[in-house]
Amino acid sequence: MQNEHASHTALLIAASLVLLRHDSKHSGLVSKASADFCAQMLETHSPQTRLFLKIVRQGWFRPVAKLIERITIPGILLHYILRKRCIATLARSALTNGATQVVVVGAGFDPLSFELHQDSPGVQFWEIDHPATQRHKLRALPKIGIERLHFVAVDLSATGLDRQALIKSSFDPTQRTFWIAEGLLMYLPADKVSSLMRTLSSLSAPGSQFAFTFMEKQGGGLLRFDSQSKLVDWWLRTRGEPFLWGTERGEVVELARPWRVIRFFDHDDLRQMDSGLADEPIAKGEMICLAEV
Ligand SMILES: C[S@@+](CC[C@H](N)C(=O)[O-])C[C@H]1O[C@@H](n2cnc3c(N)ncnc32)[C@H](O)[C@@H]1O
């Protein structure tokens, strides 16, 4: 990740949510609150993202966006939103079953902790992110009613996560926690992924869960979505966000220990979340894993 700029991929995901909300066929997949939150992030970030926000809200841009999607990663927009819905469902279920803390690592401009914060009195929330991304989120978010939401800025590729930094910001390792690392681990070197897994487990009371996503290695060890074009490889590289790490399902079981893998969700599982998606392309290659200690 570039040190001065907020994550471009995080901004792109925020714009994707706004775009889908304005698409009559898929607007039901994105809540108004989520789309408004993402719009606020884009509105505040820079004059360029403000202009981009105006564009993605225009009807004429929808066919253009579809074309861009077709020549980059077909089905990526649905992948983003279904990935979010899947993780939100897992988080809500963990809260129902007694988790009292939620930590989103590499949170980007994701609205989940704000939405859960409103629905879950008594639960504490943390967002951990690269300082270059997090400072923009802090600048953009509504200043009221977020007293149970804490922010920790850290470059996970450089220093890794310091247990004390989290504990100092009121995190309690004796409480049951739901951890999320969505769209993050592919940007970290392998040794940082393993040490993050270990650090999170060392901060987790029994029954805590971890939902994370990873790129499934393709033939020849390639790290990319199944249908990803070279244009995307180039874009990620020039933005300083190339994919660095990926693995296979079998390897995750070993690598995640002491986390115990409960289940994986692939593009077919995501498709089943909505009956109207039977014939729609959904990008294939990034898996969700739910694990527990
Ligand atoms: C693709 S975005 C995903 C954002 C969000 N989780 C979502 O799914 O909408 C990647 C996120 O990882 C964060 N990230 C990437 N490299 C990082 C690093 N070295 N340290 C901390 N965060 C990092 C970025 O700041 C960004 O928020």
Task: Label the pairing between strands 260-265 and 286-292.
Answer: antiparallel
279 C-alpha to ligand 1 centroid (Å): 31
Query: If you take atom 27 of ligand 1, which residue's CA is the nearest one?
Result: 108
Number of domains in the chain: 1
Q: Give residue 18's pLDDT.
A: 97
CA distances from 275 to 76, 111, 291 (A): 18, 25, 27
Q: Give residue 154's pLDDT.
A: 96
- Is the CB–ligand 1 distance for residue 182 below 6 Å? yes
Domain with residue 246: its CATH number is 3.40.50.150
Give pLDDT tens digits along the chain (293 positions).
Answer: 667 789 999 999 999 999 999 998 899 999 999 999 999 999 999 999 999 999 999 999 999 999 999 999 999 999 999 999 999 999 999 999 999 999 999 999 999 999 999 889 999 999 999 999 999 999 988 665 678 999 999 999 998 899 999 999 999 999 999 999 999 999 999 999 999 999 999 999 999 999 999 999 988 888 889 888 888 888 888 888 889 999 999 999 999 999 999 999 999 999 999 878 888 899 999 999 999 99
In which domain, by residue range, is 236 found?
Answer: 75-292
The answer to whether position 143 is within a domain reads yes
The answer to whether position 2 is within a domain reads no
Query: If you take atom 14 of ligand 1, which residue's CA is the nearest one?
Result: 106
The answer to whether position 163 is within a domain reads yes
**For the stretch 50-59, what's the b/e string if a residue is b when 16 or more beta carbons lie within 10 angstroms of its beta carbon?**
eebbeebeee
Atom of ligand 1 nearest to the CA of 14: 9
- Is the CB–ligand 1 distance for residue 113 below 6 Å? no
The answer to whether position 133 is within a domain reads yes
The answer to whether position 4 is within a domain reads no
Q: Give residue 145's pLDDT.
A: 60
The answer to whether position 110 is within a domain reads yes
Q: Give residue 38's pLDDT.
A: 96
The answer to whether position 251 is within a domain reads yes
Q: Give residue 92's pLDDT.
A: 98
Query: If you take atom 11 of ligand 1, which residue's CA is the nearest one?
Result: 106
Q: Are 9 and 73 in contact (CB under 8 A)?
A: no
241 C-alpha to ligand 1 centroid (Å): 9
The answer to whether position 198 is within a domain reads yes
Q: Give residue 231's pLDDT.
A: 86
Atom of ligand 1 nearest to the CA of 83: 8
